[in-house]
Structure 1
Amino acid sequence: MGKNLTVYLLAGVLTSTVLTGCVEQQIYTNPATGNGLIMIHQLNTSYNPKYIIASNYPMEEAFVNATASQYLLPLNLTQVVNIQSLNNVFQLTENQQTLLKNNGFVVIDYGRVDDIVQPYTEMKEKGIPIFVTTDTLLHLYHIQFDEILKSVEEKEFFDDILDVSKTLFERAKKDYELFTNPDLKEAARRNVAYFAVALKLLQTPTDEYNGSENIRGVDFTVPEYVTEEVDSEINLINTHTGFSKSPIFHYKEDYSQYIPRGHYTQSEKLKRYFKALMWYGRMAFLLKGGEPHCPACDFLVSEENARIATIQAALISTELLDAQVNGKTAEELWRRIYSVTSFFVGTADDLTPYEYLSCIAKVFGLRFNVTELANYTKLFDLKMELAKLRNPEIYGGTGECELPSTATPDDLNKVLDKTKGMRFMGQRFIPDSYMFQRLVFPAVDSYLGDDTPFTLEYTMGGPTRCFPRGLDVMTVLGSKRALEILEEEGDTEYEHYYQQLSNLSENFAKVNTTEWNRNLYFSWIYTLKSLLKEFNESYPTFMQTKAWQDKELQTVLASWTELRHDTILYGKQSYTPTKTSWEPPPKPVVGYVEPVPEFYARLLSLTAMTKDGLSELEVLNETEKSRLETLQDILSRLISIS
């Protein structure tokens, strides 16, 4: 090894389903009679939104055909030409020097900084060569993703969901006044309460609010006949103590989910939006009910409550497309929010109003009287058609379901089946939550070891795997190092763990490029996946070490955490069922780029997909578009350099 070897300090900051039945339908009702005539006009739309989204992804892959110069480890630090400069600036400890010698690189704590560029600027000023790592690029993309989403939520979606809520609230009130059939009247009453909760969440100041923001308001009065239920729901949401029985929906809900987090803590408007969208995303109009009903039973609610809930969902679905909001239908505003958020995070895991409309048309025809929704035979036929539709794939905590200690994956499917129903703006299917679901009880069962790993929880049914880990996701995505760590820490010592892991790994290995890029969430994970491989002799020596695998794994986990943070409102969280101005050009900086062209190519494609897709959806302003274009330029250069 020659004396020209230079150490580039690793200063990268380690940043810690389809819209099925998408038939556009127009529904015209005449609620003034109390016996509204419903007419459904089906428009021929044959596109699949998932693949329309994927079409924005430029499928460009980088192929590595190079051989980096190799050297022997451990290093002889006396032959590193700038080792003294490094020591003078960073005062490397004995342990850090040992790590540098053994691995060919070392990561040091740079302290907490708010500006991702600051460490690079300071190293340049001190004459230290720069090493640009993937961490920086991933963090830059996260900033763009999060800021764009936050901007459209504040500037557009808050007002839109407020208008939709107010309009459907008033329609439900009118329905209640005019309906005479007991079931229709009760369904309308509960819909009044449902939309009243959302309106109060959007219009009631939080305790921390100082009145500094210009937040639009609307006039509405909660009728006396739902005041008690609405106030009880609001109290449960604001105290967010955990699972309690919903006064409106009659099953247990996890009210701890309504604590604003992520970027939703940054303004009063976002806090209110978070609570309202969480309400619309989590609360389900359950399809199935019966006796007995309880968290451990075959049903979560009574047959009567399920019947009323189905009528509620049918009323909402039909009136959504007919109700007028400032010259548009409520459905147009709903679809705008749903389309944009689907591009970011994906489509709903639960049934949507569109799917209910499709079944309504099949059972009742394209022209029928609203009173037919209360006909037991017709309603039964509707529920049978709805039952044929897809089940959710992720259990989101509905009803705090309980399973016996002998439960199997088939019992999980039963839980998914009994929590089936429409959600107004349902949370989205995301792959990591699906993986989590399949790597905890009941898919994975009893603990076989004799320690207390992170994933272990002692339940009434004995010790079992109740908590998944981010390393589980990375293992499914192909990281051998992640599996090693899980095994070292005892988190794989469960009955059926390896079987479930094998099934997941096999299934996700079959996912093609188009499927991986169905939305920005999936595509982000696809980008991270390229860093989880083992690097061969085509790459620099330091990248072939286990220490570098750990560094890359940390990078991926950190970026994945940012992804979850950015999408906390829309991504469906899995639950484990209870077991019982111009300046002169800067001086060139001596530096080094982490040689991972495949990663840069995927991140470039993801950035292009973000820019092009959100431009088509008319979400981006010129500043946001320019920032994404700048990131594209940087990534193109990095591909060439690496």
Structure 2
Amino acid sequence: MKPRHLIALIVLTLLGGPPAPGTDLFDPPQLAVSPSPAAETSLALDADETVIDTDVSPAGATVAALVRRAGGGQVLRFWTLDGTRPVADRPLPDGFTARALAWHPRGERLFLAGTQGGEQVIAQVAADPQSRRLETIYRSPQKIRRLMVGPRPFETGRDGAGNPVLAYRLFFGLKGADGRYAIRSITEDGRRGYQAIGPKGGFTRFADAAGPPSEIAADWALPLGFHPGGHLLLWEDQGHRFHVATYAGDHWAGTRDLLDNSLRGGSVTVTPNGLGLIQWQPGSTGVTVILDRGQRRSPQCAGHRFDGTPSSVPDGRGLVGVERTDSGLRLVYCPITVPLADVTNAWLFAQAPADRDLIERRGGLLRDLDLEQVYSLYESESYALDQEGGPTPARPYLVTTDIFWELLAAAYEGLFITTERHQSIPAFWDLVAAADRQFRTAAPASPWARVFATLAALRDPTSGAQDPEVALIQRAQGVAQSPALGIPLTYGELLPRGHYSADPEFQNYFKAFTYLTKLAPKGAPVAALQDLPSALRAAAARWVSPYRAFIAPSRAPLVWGDRGTLPAYARHPADQAALFPLSWGFDNEVLLATVFHPDWPEAEQITGPAGPRILPSALDLAAALGSPLASSLLRNELDRYPRLRPVLAELGQRHAAGTGGDLYNRWIDALAMQWAGDLKAPDQGDGALWQAKRLQTGLASWATLRHATVLVNERVAAEGGESGFENIVFSPPRGAVEPDPRTFEAIATLFDLLQALVDDSAGLLRGEMATEDGSELEPLRQAVSGRLHDTADQARRFKAMAERQDRGEGLSGADYEAIYHVARVAEHHFLVFKSLANKELALSNPDPMPKIADVAGDGPYLMAAVGRPMEWDQVVPFYGRRQLVKGAVYSFYEFASPRLLDDAAWRQMLGTQAHPAWIAPFVSRLGLPDGDPF
């Protein structure tokens, strides 16, 4: 096997393919939460009743209260906050006296701690008020105080087949013979108990674990509550000082003072969104919500005096507690105000006030990333259970259209480069050699003889080293008098840009191509090439023809005699024949029509009181294609240049009439889908971020298209392993899909077109590539066609998910797994497509994503650029609550430059380039928080 094939086989095997559907990674299903009432509500108790303890169902709406009657006996009372169900009592068995209760995190049962037959017991009961069965799971002669269940399961062992056994753990205070309490834990079936925090002599070791579950020593400890992440346990000592213990993956690793011991007395619990704390003080009115590590304190429920620690409802919008009134006790639900209250994982995204404000107003935010590829973000969360340091709570992913735009760009450019390398570049040099011979013999005095002699020398830099014209071409700088043509030429135009800058063969081709097609015609009459022998015209056709599948039709006749089809939208076709049919897509038409041309009809002259408009804006394209945001951002330009408004409107009408079926313009049409004004915005925030993100994504995708075609695109211008105890199991994050199904479909269709191009081009791709599973090799053309088909299928799969989300339908476990593993699709296919640009077809580190293209102007130049990927944090619905998800998106830049820039120069200046003014307000200056809000 050839080395490059062996490398490809190894890398593809390591990468793996898309995840197989139908796994049980996302079982059991996520618990849906009923929304809490917006207004206060209460339930009065009878005069002879006392409330011992309360807790709110993790599914919301239902409160369980342990009620003791004066005449004896206890009942478990179920109260529905929204009043949709009648209050229901469930009598507890005689002889059992409960003192604490806690809901199971799945909501189907409760745990009760109390006394029975002289023993301390913990029992479980079904949440159904009609059920009478009480099952004891734990007994102890020592007094039990408080009871809570950790919100995340633990891997407590292995079954006979070697699969992990998962169980939730109960935590409670257990009184020792010396009267001091320690925090103990048992599994939900009452087994595998250990001391979590307590005296040094009370720690437990297990034969199947290398270390103890905990060695956190304390003279006295009682549990207070868990952080919703499950890895932080709040506890108090005998002096009512508060502490927080941390579970480091597979054991309790240590403890520290909570907020530097700045809180004293009462109790402290964590807000359901994990951002802050709720402190209750006995005898005080209401509670205090504490945020920003104690810097922000907000009194809540000021009109209520709770008898004990109130319980948060799961969507974080209120508290349930017991209140004593003149007529007796009552259960009361009191709404509270907490930033991002119902965003379940707000603590992983928005601990800083500035970020919270952005998310609350906009529904999300953007962050700059120091990453080189879009797919890299989807490898940034640590989900594995066997990683060094143990698992950590992870942020869910958002599958964006940007992923598939970048895959499309990689596939398009890879096929484009392969076509150039194997077809167009050899044909070009054949044409140069033939034309050199022709003019040496037939017209040695023609300036074209000097042009083709120069190009022939350029192909062999050694033989042309003493040629002053070749030296100027190779230098590719500034303006100089041409020794060959005797006129000034802008040799700076020859600076290799786009993918041509990375490879010497392509650099030389870029310079030769541009010299022949752009510089030479300034000093050599093009008409002299029209009557060349048929063999030369055929050689030119072999050079030009491979490009036609990738670019739009030209607006100029071709000097070699094959004019092609003039695009219908081209209102001002070029009169002079060209040596190459430079692409004239609808974007070129927009950029041309929105700048000043003195010889155009007056209605089309873009000028105003301040003078003519010299450079267009990328926003012109988006506005012409229907972006309401782009139109609003151009408001000042529309006022400065009154004719710009009707010109843009007329361009929109021309686009609606159709642009043809070529691949280039189909890409432009797909961008119109990205910018469509009728797409429903997410029902989160004010929609402004969503619109700005869509505009930025489309413009960046357009910049990648122009980057790939920078040489063949006409640039317009205005004129003038086992190591611990039990792994804590964090639920695999259930992500989301960008709610833009039409763009996913438009991109999938572009992949279909690329696949058709490959299938119809028998000689385009030569060589072999590893199969999807990496087990063998297959013909390159077949392999690439299959990858293009698979990527289109993946785009349509996410399209279907976006449609279900829009309809308010739930996603399946297989859907969530596809989101969870989206990096496999993104990276795997991206590297395959990028390998097409490699001469050896080998998988290697691709160039960083930032790229730049000159799209208009003749100095200054309008530059359209893609920067590093950005992170998009967005609030999405989540089973009755909300959550934040993160996805990778493009960054886009547009600016005027006095000189042409290649990718290397752009990457050097990227750190100093400001975001466009219309995207900057949505960009956070902060990175993601470290996950510890205390």
Q: State TM-score, norm by structure 1.
A: 0.60
Q: How does 1:341-352 map to 2 (within 5 A)?
A: 341-352=547-558
Question: Which residue does 1:446 correspond to in 2?
Answer: 607
Question: Which residue does 1:532 correspond to in 2?
Answer: 675
Q: How does 1:331-370 map to 2 (within 5 A)?
A: 331=538, 333-355=539-561
Verify the 8 A CA contact 1:543 1:549 in the aligned structure 2.
no
Of 302, 314, 317, the match for 2:530: 314
Of 713, 733, 753, the match for 1:609: 753
1:122-141 CA distance string (max 9 Å, x none) = 23535211111111111111
Question: Which residue does 1:628 correspond to in 2?
Answer: 788
Find out whether 1:260 has 2:496 as its counterpart.
Answer: yes
Amino acid at match of 1:164: L
Flag the 1:390–1:571 CA change in 2: closer, same or farther, 3 A: closer
Amino acid at match of 2:740: V
Flag the 1:504–1:535 CA change in 2: closer, same or farther, 3 A: closer
Question: Which residue does 1:551 correspond to in 2?
Answer: 693
Flag the 1:166–1:545 CA change in 2: closer, same or farther, 3 A: same
In structure 2, how many angstroms separate the alpha carbons of the residues matched to 1:198 and 1:639? 49
Verify the 8 A CA contact 2:556 2:563 in the aligned structure 1.
no
User: What is the aligned-residue RMSD (CA, Å)?
Assistant: 3.6
Question: Which residue does 1:81 correspond to in 2?
Answer: 344
In structure 1, how many angstroms separate the alpha carbons of the residues matched to 2:648 and 2:488? 31
In structure 2, how many angstroms separate the alpha carbons of the residues matched to 1:598 and 1:510? 19
Q: How does 1:496-515 map to 2 (within 5 A)?
A: 496-511=643-658, 515=659
1:37-64 CA distance string (max 9 Å, x none) = xxxxxxxxxxxxxxxxxxxxxxxxxxxx
Verify the 8 A CA contact 1:536 1:544 in the aligned structure 2.
no
Identity of aligned residues (%): 20
In structure 1, how many angstroms separate the alpha carbons of the residues matched to 2:758 and 2:476? 34
Verify the 8 A CA contact 2:451 2:516 in the aligned structure 1.
no
SS of match in other structure, 1:422: coil
Verify the 8 A CA contact 2:555 2:566 in the aligned structure 1.
no
Q: Which runs of 5+ in 1 are unaligned?
A: 7-73, 177-184, 206-219, 287-300, 324-329, 359-388, 395-408, 450-462, 579-586
SS of match in other structure, 2:364: coil
Amino acid at match of 1:134: T
Find out whether 1:590 has 2:734 as its counterpart.
Answer: yes
Q: How does 1:336-415 map to 2 (within 5 A)?
A: 336-355=542-561
Verify the 8 A CA contact 1:393 1:429 in the aligned structure 2.
no
Q: CA deviation at 1:356?
A: 7.1
Of 654, 666, 680, the match for 1:523: 666
Verify the 8 A CA contact 1:245 1:252 in the aligned structure 2.
yes
In structure 1, how many angstroms separate the alpha carbons of the residues matched to 2:478 and 2:464? 29
1:576-621 CA distance string (max 9 Å, x none) = 112xxxxxxxx97621111212111111111110111233133243
Flag the 1:254–1:285 CA change in 2: closer, same or farther, 3 A: closer
Q: CA deviation at 1:550?
A: 0.8
Q: CA deviation at 1:445?
A: 4.0
In structure 2, how many angstroms separate the alpha carbons of the residues matched to 1:492 and 1:79? 44
1:280-300 CA distance string (max 9 Å, x none) = 3325768xxxxxxxxxxxxxx
Q: How does 1:485-500 map to 2 (within 5 A)?
A: 485-488=633-636, 490=637, 492-500=639-647
Q: Which runs of 5+ in 2 are unaligned?
A: 1-33, 37-58, 61-227, 229-336, 384-392, 598-603, 721-730, 766-779, 803-934
Find out whether 1:200 has 2:442 as its counterpart.
Answer: no
Of 579, 596, 612, the match for 1:464: 612
Q: CA deviation at 1:491?
A: 6.0
SS of match in other structure, 1:80: coil
Q: CA deviation at 1:150?
A: 1.8
Question: Which residue does 1:365 correspond to in 2?
Answer: none
Q: CA deviation at 1:529?
A: 0.8
In structure 1, how many angstroms separate the alpha carbons of the residues matched to 2:617 and 2:338? 35
In structure 2, how many angstroms separate the alpha carbons of the residues matched to 1:356 and 1:127? 58
Q: CA deviation at 1:544?
A: 6.7
Flag the 1:192–1:541 CA change in 2: closer, same or farther, 3 A: same
Question: Which residue does 1:150 correspond to in 2?
Answer: 417
1:436-466 CA distance string (max 9 Å, x none) = 11111124343336xxxxxxxxxxxxx3210
Flag the 1:422–1:249 CA change in 2: closer, same or farther, 3 A: farther
Find out whether 1:476 has 2:712 as its counterpart.
Answer: no
Q: State TM-score, norm by structure 2.
A: 0.42
In structure 2, how many angstroms separate the alpha carbons of the residues matched to 1:221 and 1:272? 13
Q: CA deviation at 1:147?
A: 1.9
Find out whether 1:270 has 2:417 as its counterpart.
Answer: no
Amino acid at match of 1:194: V
SS of match in other structure, 1:79: coil
Verify the 8 A CA contact 1:124 1:589 in the aligned structure 2.
no
Flag the 1:113–1:392 CA change in 2: closer, same or farther, 3 A: same
1:249-276 CA distance string (max 9 Å, x none) = 6776543221101111111001011112
In structure 2, how many angstroms separate the alpha carbons of the residues matched to 1:473 and 1:338? 28
SS of match in other structure, 2:675: coil
Q: CA deviation at 1:500?
A: 2.2
Amino acid at match of 1:493: R
- Larger helix share, 1 or 2: 1
Q: CA deviation at 1:535?
A: 4.6
1:380-414 CA distance string (max 9 Å, x none) = xxxxxxxxx989998xxxxxxxxxxxxxx9xxx6x
Question: Which residue does 2:372 correspond to in 1?
Answer: 114
Amino acid at match of 2:608: Y
Q: CA deviation at 1:532?
A: 0.9
Verify the 8 A CA contact 2:614 2:718 in the aligned structure 1.
yes
Flag the 1:550–1:75 CA change in 2: closer, same or farther, 3 A: farther
Deviates more, 1:560-569 or 1:431-440: 431-440
Verify the 8 A CA contact 1:243 1:256 in the aligned structure 2.
yes
Question: Which residue does 2:718 correspond to in 1?
Answer: 576
Flag the 1:247–1:2 CA change in 2: closer, same or farther, 3 A: farther
SS of match in other structure, 2:366: coil
Amino acid at match of 1:258: L
Of 383, 390, 395, the match for 1:128: 395
Flag the 1:251–1:391 CA change in 2: closer, same or farther, 3 A: farther
Question: Which residue does 1:2 correspond to in 2?
Answer: 35
Of 790, 798, 805, the match for 1:638: 798
Verify the 8 A CA contact 2:540 2:560 in the aligned structure 1.
no
| Corresponding residue pairs, total | 432
Verify the 8 A CA contact 1:75 1:102 in the aligned structure 2.
no
Question: Which residue does 2:172 correspond to in 1?
Answer: none
1:468-491 CA distance string (max 9 Å, x none) = 110011111111210111114x46
Verify the 8 A CA contact 1:129 1:589 in the aligned structure 2.
yes
Amino acid at match of 2:580: M
Verify the 8 A CA contact 2:395 2:733 in the aligned structure 1.
no
In structure 1, how many angstroms separate the alpha carbons of the residues matched to 2:685 and 2:555? 39
In structure 2, how many angstroms separate the alpha carbons of the residues matched to 1:2 and 1:274? 62
1:524-556 CA distance string (max 9 Å, x none) = 11111101123555x531387122111100111
Question: Which residue does 2:270 correspond to in 1?
Answer: none
In structure 2, how many angstroms separate the alpha carbons of the residues matched to 1:151 and 1:496? 43
Verify the 8 A CA contact 1:535 1:543 in the aligned structure 2.
no
In structure 2, how many angstroms separate the alpha carbons of the residues matched to 1:94 and 1:204? 61
SS of match in other structure, 2:398: strand
Verify the 8 A CA contact 1:441 1:466 in the aligned structure 2.
yes
Flag the 1:390–1:611 CA change in 2: closer, same or farther, 3 A: closer
Verify the 8 A CA contact 1:285 1:422 in the aligned structure 2.
no
SS of match in other structure, 2:554: coil
Flag the 1:493–1:174 CA change in 2: closer, same or farther, 3 A: same
Structure with greater Cα Rg: 2
Question: Which residue does 2:360 correspond to in 1?
Answer: 101
Q: CA deviation at 1:573?
A: 0.3
Flag the 1:639–1:564 CA change in 2: closer, same or farther, 3 A: same
